[in-house]
Amino acid sequence: MFNPKFGSTSVSITSDTGVDNSGSSDVEDTSGVIFDSSGLDKYRNSLKTLYNLIIFKLNLGMNSVSRKQLILDVGGRVKLNCDLKRHLSPRTVGVIMRSLPLEGNSHLLGKSIVYFETDVDAGIEKARSEFKTGDIAFLPSTGSICFFVGNVQSAKTMALIGKFHGDVSELKNVKSGDVLSLYEEIT
């Protein structure tokens, strides 16, 4: 964790009588509270601990470098949480992240794949053809982002780029032409 430097400026401690007490172990902070040297160290350590807890708490809610939390909005009716995971296809996920937000009309491929076309131009990376329910993949030939509602053995190879959180059964209700929006979750 990051520890800020406290007391980086030199301070001359002067008593109410105007006598320099630099050698004294008593210190008065800006609020008028007087600390002895051990009390000042405890005060500094408490501030450092508080600072680190605040930073830690903020970092827990934020996206990491390797994972981006996104929302898939289905026609303004349903919002599903999903993650893009950089380790699955680093270049492809990077290009998609820089292209967010993305929006397009939905298309259906059987009952197991919902997708929408984008202008994202990225090649195939870590190609695969087997996908499970909740997977998110990128089809480079059409620049499509595909969402899997069921387990699929695809005829075309795609790059796995992410997963949904929880139940994806709401995707079964998507109709061809519904507007799909993929954007970053703002907290």
DSSP 161: E
> Would the pLDDT of 130 be above 90?
yes
Fold of the domain built from segment(s) 67-184? Cyclophilin (2.40.100)
Q: Which stretch of 41-50, 84-93, 110-119, 122-131 has the lowest confidence by average pLDDT?
A: 41-50
> Would the pLDDT of 80 be above 50?
yes
pLDDT of residue 20: 46
pLDDT of residue 32: 59
Residues in Cβ contact with 183 at an 8 Å cutoff, skipping those fewer than 6 apart: 70, 71, 73, 100, 101, 102
Length of the chain: 187
**Residue 113: is it exposed, middle or buried by C-beta count within 10 angstroms (0-12/13-18/19+)?**
buried
pLDDT in tens, 9-34: 444 444 444 444 444 455 555 555 55
CATH 2.40.100.20: which residues of the chain?
A: 67-184
**Residue 152: is it exposed, middle or buried by C-beta count within 10 angstroms (0-12/13-18/19+)?**
buried
pTM above 0.75, yes or no: no
Rounded to an integer, what distance in angstroms lies between the CA atom of residue 79 and that of residue 70? Answer: 10
> Would the pLDDT of 126 be above 60?
yes
Q: Which residues pair with 152 in a beta bridge?
A: 131
> Would the pLDDT of 41 be above 90?
no
